[in-house]
């Protein structure tokens, strides 16, 4: 039977069969954040459009793909397409730059972009990420990268590479952009339509292109490392030293520039080892000028964001044991003694009650299939341990309590 209504293109439902894995993965990331001492932050789903136009840049895909509209006061509102700008706004607006000048946040949130849906990339999607304010040190960059790598380990994402680069300051990138444009001026016929468009608006973004013709055209061209200041070069060398001391493997990718205009200095990405064009799981770096641009004090900042759906696709974690230790309660077609259920609630012992009109035998088999540890039969007042196959006749609720507390 087909529903009269369908979900909006580029969105998805998280049904109960997928929810257990979703929750387990999310909890693992939350536990990791607690280990690192980061605090959770939540920002509204809607923001003023200008927040992202100012931070990301009007020519980048994120800005072009926003869901936006005018409210009754003729103000441009949008569903947030990324998290860094809202967190920066909250950091300033709430006065945290005064009360907690060194602030470490993490988030898990829904984001929205009107882009072409594909595997691991939807119009409503979720990100897990961190933002740190109040430090310019390369040690802080290394800690953020360590957090990202540990997140991969927590979800048993095994086949990935860490790529790093330093993209210098805005002045450095402006000089580099002129040299890159000069290098490509006689190669227009070799470039993709997308690259030709970026030639006028933001030529550095061509380095991000996955089109073969653009990759070939860039060969032999200038790299941003040729234009870095002594300070940026030293920061990059220090970062590499810290990563080596942490035992984190990495490769230097001089074409890595990140997708948003606010980045500067050290940047990084974690990518899967496959041939798919959309293979980045996580990315981040420094954005030392953004807090000041938003009206706050001059503040060093660094962070990363990871696409949660992509992490789940890459995860090797088995969620088959999520019902382990739980009791499956089978009701029968007569008067049931619900005092045993009340005892499970009092004990705070996880359980599921099957109130369907199926037979007790059917319910017993279902409890085995779903991986429950025990089956409580309210018809015969017995409890069966699926591990030992031992069936015990219950005398009363105290007897159940004693069995579960063993």
β strands within 63-123, DSSP E: 68-70, 76-79, 103-112
Strand, coil or helix: what is 231?
Answer: helix
pLDDT at 327: 94
User: For position 49, what pLDDT does the model report?
Assistant: 94
- Phi-psi label, residue 121: left if phi above 0, alpha if psi -120 to 50, beta otherwise: beta
What DSSP designation does 389 have?
T
Helix (H, G, I), strand (E, B) or coil at 302: strand
Neighbours of 397 (CB within 10 A): 17
Q: Per this entry, what is the length of the chain?
A: 406
End-to-end CA distance of the chain: 47
- CA 203 to CA 327: how far, in whole Å? 60
Strand order from edge to edge, sheet including 124-133: 39-40, 103-112, 124-133, 301-307, 280-286, 264-272, 160-166, 251-252
pLDDT at 321: 62
**Alpha-carbon distance 342 to 396, whole Å?**
12
Alpha-carbon span 374 to 349, nearest angstrom: 12
pLDDT, residue 206, reads 87
- Mean pLDDT per 10-residue run, the chain (406 residues)? 86 83 92 97 96 70 83 94 96 95 97 81 92 98 98 93 94 89 84 84 82 87 91 97 97 85 93 70 96 96 96 81 84 87 92 93 93 92 92 90 84
Nearest by Cα to 338 from 356, 358, 348, 353: 353
Q: What is the pLDDT of residues 329-365, one digit of tens each?
A: 999 888 888 999 999 999 999 999 999 999 999 999 9
Q: Could you read off the pLDDT of 290-317 as tens digits, one per residue?
A: 999 999 999 999 999 999 999 999 998 7
């Amino acid at each position: 039977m087909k529903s009269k209504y369908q979900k909006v293109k580029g969105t998805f439902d998280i049904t109960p069969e997928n929810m257990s894995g979703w929750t387990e993965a999310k909890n693992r990331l939350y536990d990791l954040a607690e280990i690192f001492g980061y605090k959770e932050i939540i920002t509204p789903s809607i923001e003023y459009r200008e927040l992202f136009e100012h931070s990301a840049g009007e020519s980048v895909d994120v800005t072009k793909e926003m869901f936006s509209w005018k409210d009754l006061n003729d103000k441009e509102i949008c569903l947030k397409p990324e998290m860094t700008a809202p967190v920066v706004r909250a950091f300033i607006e709430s006065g945290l730059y005064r009360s907690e000048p060194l602030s470490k946040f993490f988030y898990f949130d829904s984001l929205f972009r009107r882009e072409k849906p594909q595997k691991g990339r939807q119009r409503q999607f979720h990100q897990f990420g961190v933002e740190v304010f109040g430090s310019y040190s390369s040690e802080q960059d290394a800690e953020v990268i360590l957090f990202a790598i540990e997140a991969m380990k927590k979800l048993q994402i095994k086949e990935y590479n860490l790529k790093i680069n330093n993209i210098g300051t805005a002045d450095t990138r402006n000089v580099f952009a002129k040299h890159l444009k000069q290098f490509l001026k006689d190669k227009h016929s070799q470039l993709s339509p997308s690259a030709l468009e970026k030639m006028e608006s933001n030529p550095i973004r061509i380095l991000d292109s996955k089109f073969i013709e653009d990759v070939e055209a860039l060969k032999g061209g200038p790299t941003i490392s040729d234009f870095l200041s002594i300070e940026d070069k030293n920061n990059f060398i220090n970062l590499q030293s810290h990563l080596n001391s942490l035992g984190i493997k990495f490769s230097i990718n001089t074409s890595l520039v990140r997708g948003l205009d606010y980045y500067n200095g050290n940047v990084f990405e974690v990518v899967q080892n496959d041939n798919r064009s959309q293979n980045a799981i996580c990315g981040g770096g420094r954005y030392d000028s953004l807090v000041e641009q938003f009206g706050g004090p001059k503040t060093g900042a660094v962070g990363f964001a990871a696409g949660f759906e992509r992490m789940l696709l890459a995860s090797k974690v088995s969620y088959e044991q999520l019902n382990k230790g739980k009791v499956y309660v089978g009701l029968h077609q007569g008067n049931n003694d619900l005092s045993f259920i009340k005892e499970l609630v009092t004990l705070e012992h996880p359980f599921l009650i099957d109130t369907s009109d199926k037979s007790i035998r059917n319910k017993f088999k279902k409890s085995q299939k779903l991986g429950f540890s025990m089956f409580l039969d309210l018809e015969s007042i017995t409890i069966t341990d699926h591990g030992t196959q031992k069936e015990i006749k219950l005398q009363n609720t105290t007897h159940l309590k004693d069995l579960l507390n063993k």
